[in-house]
Amino acid sequence: MENALGEVQTIVLFGGTSEIGRAIVDRLLTPATTTVVLAVRDPESVSIAGTSLERPGLTVDVVAFDAADTDTHQGLVDDLVARHGDLDVVIEAFGQLGDPHVLAADAAAAAALVHVNFTGSVSVATAVAAQFRRQGHGRLVVLSSVAGERVRKANYVYGSSKAGLDGFAQGLGDSLAGTGASVLVVRPGFVTSKMTAGLKPAPLSTTPEAVADATVKALRSGKRTVWAPAALRVVFSVFRHLPGSVWRRLKV
């Protein structure tokens, strides 16, 4: 549980190699933190040597996690609770971007991406939320994207998966009202990271560290949504109301 100063003891990161996710974890760490769980596809490939996670008194548990294998998600959450107790902050930071040209022509690839980004996230979040209700506290951080705020033709498969996730996360947060638990939806813009390597940065692009700063600030202030950078909230409030004929012509 969180201590009297609001410092978390147990943090779980689904997508344990995510640059944004790891940056959020780094900023949440305090001397009160006892456990960090990194849920990753290949535990053998993860090293904490030389990172902020390598310190006395901190247990780092690296566990196998396959976002596409939804049948295993409830069992994984149950196992983490059995071994580490209450989960204070859980971060969902996994997903695929994909190649828009491949996704437009390959039905199986499109379905697989949506399964990971949406179905996998729903599965994990549902298991986590049930645990939050039982323990009476907990905060779930869901990495959405501005791509889901109004889906662009340039990446409509990815964007639609994030649109679905964003809507689900908002509804889940509403359902947790009064339970002591909450959901924070994070909507980053273009983030310069391994995931976007080789792509041309969009206007108002940001970094994993900046997204993490905004996320932790929003967590501490009790917000339900956060845009990174904040200016994107204004930009997309305009985009959201553009006529379709205009939206389709924009190169954004």
**pLDDT surpasses 50 at 4:** no
- CA dihedral sign, ordered 229, 233, 234, 236: positive
Burial class from Cβ neighbours inside 10 Å (0-12, 13-18, 19+) for residue 85 reads middle
State the pairing for strand pair 89-92/10-14: parallel
Structure tokens at 28: 């949440």
Residue corresponding to tokens 């003891």: 9
CA distance 116 to 15: 12
In degrees and rounded to multiples of 5, residue 181 shows phi and psi of: -110, 165
pLDDT band at 242 (very low <50, low <70, confident <90, very high): confident
Mean of pLDDT over the chain: 92
Q: Is 156 a catalytic residue?
A: no
- Residue 17 DSSP SS3: coil
Q: How far apart are CA 39 and CA 67, in angstroms?
A: 10
Detail the DSSP E strand segments found in 76-233: 89-92, 138-143, 181-188, 225-228
What is the number of residues in the chain? 252
Superfamily of the domain at 10-247: NAD(P)-binding Rossmann-like Domain (3.40.50.720)
Per-residue pLDDT tens digits for 75-86: 999 999 999 999
The domain segmentation of the chain, as residue ranges, is 10-247
Backbone angles phi, psi at 47, to 5 degrees: -125, 140
Comparing CA positions, the residue from 159, 156, 154 lying closest to residue 250 is 154
Q: How far apart are CA 75 and CA 46, in angstroms?
A: 22
Instruction: Kindly report the number of other CB atoms within 10 A of residue 237's CB atom.
Output: 10
pTM of this prediction exceeds 0.85: yes
For the chain, what is the largest distance between any 2 Cα atoms, rounded to a whole number of angstroms? 58
Q: Token digits for 105?
A: 């022509």
Q: Which residue has the tokens 């090293």?
A: 47
- In angstroms, the CA 76 to CA 222 distance is 28
Of 132, 158, 190, 227, which one is the catalytic site residue? Answer: 158
pLDDT tens digits for 16-62?
999 999 999 999 999 999 999 999 999 999 999 889 999 999 999 99
- Average pLDDT (104-127) is 98
